[in-house]
Amino acid sequence: SSFELTARNKYAALLVEQPDQLAPYLASFSVVFNVGKLVGPPLGGWLVALQGPAGALAIDAATYLLPIVTVLWLLHPHGSMERRSGGGAAASLATAWRSCGATLRHVLRFTALSCLVGFFHPGLAPLIAADILGPTPQALGWFTSVLAAGSIVGGVVLQKNSGWLSQRPGLLMGTCTVLTALAQLGMAAAQPDRLGWLADPLALAMAFLIGAGTASLLAGVNLIGQVGAPMAIRGRMAGLGQIAFLGGGGLSGLMAAGLTALLGLPACFALLGGSGLVIGVAELIRHGGLRLRPAELRST
């Protein structure tokens, strides 16, 4: 999956007719991906019920044939636009890290830090759903569906504003981090013993905002890296972004699990949400006015 993402990002730049079309084109991937997250699990459950696990997996595997055929035979990339880095040390992640520039290095570092305090919900989704809605499969379905719905809305907003947001990394990342942090604090407050019947609607509303904030951050950082990096290192910039997402997010899940076991889920939400709020506000204050020109404009 990570390999496909890095290849798709670099390939996308060869499909658009004009450089300014790249940002909305890349942002649309987030919308499509999260629509799949919303539709795919119920469809998969239906297939498992009808065909069993082996049959469902076979059908799922067969569905990959259509995009493969599309890429190989129907799409016509502009091969003359491609820029390769060559082999050896010039093609390494370390070289891409050094040559991408101070702004993109800051983007990657901030992404890892933001994911560390704000991207633990995928790993703890069953626990969170059981705590706020109940231990039934329907509760987990509602929680994940609301997360996906928030991710779709966040992706649509990013797509509509991708041109100028991709050039304002501090504003985009800081806003997404603050939104996610406020939603986590709201989740900590959504306790039935305090709010009664309002707790469940509030928790679902906060889950929607968590989905919107995290999806916009991940898609936005990928967008910034692709628009701001030269063609030769765009594939590796997507790889570095994956390292930041998965590294920060993976540690976030472990840290949140430890805090939950020690202090309880509401306290975990409060601590990590408060940390994210500090990080996000600091980013807005220090780098909210940061500008990043697209790589094509810098090279002309």
Q: Phi/psi zone of residue 134: left (φ > 0), alpha (ψ -120 to 50 degrees), beta?
A: left
Task: Report the distance separating Cα 107 and Cα 204, nearest Å.
Answer: 30
Task: Report the distance separating Cα 118 and Cα 116, nearest Å.
Answer: 6
Task: Report the distance separating Cα 53 and Cα 283, nearest Å.
Answer: 46
- Which helix (H) or strand (E) covers residue 47, if one does? helix 22-62
Over residues 57-103, the pLDDT tens digits come to 999 899 889 888 888 888 888 777 777 766 677 778 888 898 888 99
Measured on CA atoms in the order 228, 176, 257, 128, is the torsion positive or negative? negative
183, 213 Cβ separation under 8 angstroms: yes
Task: Report the distance separating Cα 103 and Cα 111, nearest Å.
Answer: 12
One-letter amino acid identity for 28? S
The residue among 119, 124, 96 whose CA lies nearest residue 276 is 119
Give the mean pLDDT of the chain: 88
> Per-residue pLDDT for the chain (300 aa), expressed as one digit of tens each?
777 877 888 788 888 888 788 888 888 888 888 888 788 777 887 888 888 889 989 998 998 898 888 888 888 887 777 777 666 777 788 888 988 889 999 999 999 999 999 999 888 988 998 888 888 777 887 888 899 999 999 999 999 999 899 999 999 999 999 999 999 999 999 887 777 778 888 999 999 999 999 999 999 999 999 888 888 888 888 889 989 988 888 899 999 999 999 999 999 999 999 999 999 999 999 999 999 888 655 554
Which 8-state DSSP code applies to residue 292? -
Which 8-state DSSP code applies to residue 190? -
119, 245 Cβ separation under 8 angstroms: yes
The residue among 297, 180, 161 whose CA lies nearest residue 223 is 161
Q: Tell me what pLDDT residue 265 has.
A: 93
Q: Tell me what pLDDT residue 216 has.
A: 94
252, 117 Cβ separation under 8 angstroms: yes
Instruction: Give the ranges where the chain is alpha helix by DSSP (H).
Output: 2-12, 22-62, 65-69, 93-99, 102-118, 121-132, 137-160, 162-165, 169-189, 192-195, 199-228, 234-263, 265-287, 295-298
Q: Tell me what pLDDT residue 300 has.
A: 46
End-to-end CA distance of the chain: 34
Model pTM?
0.86
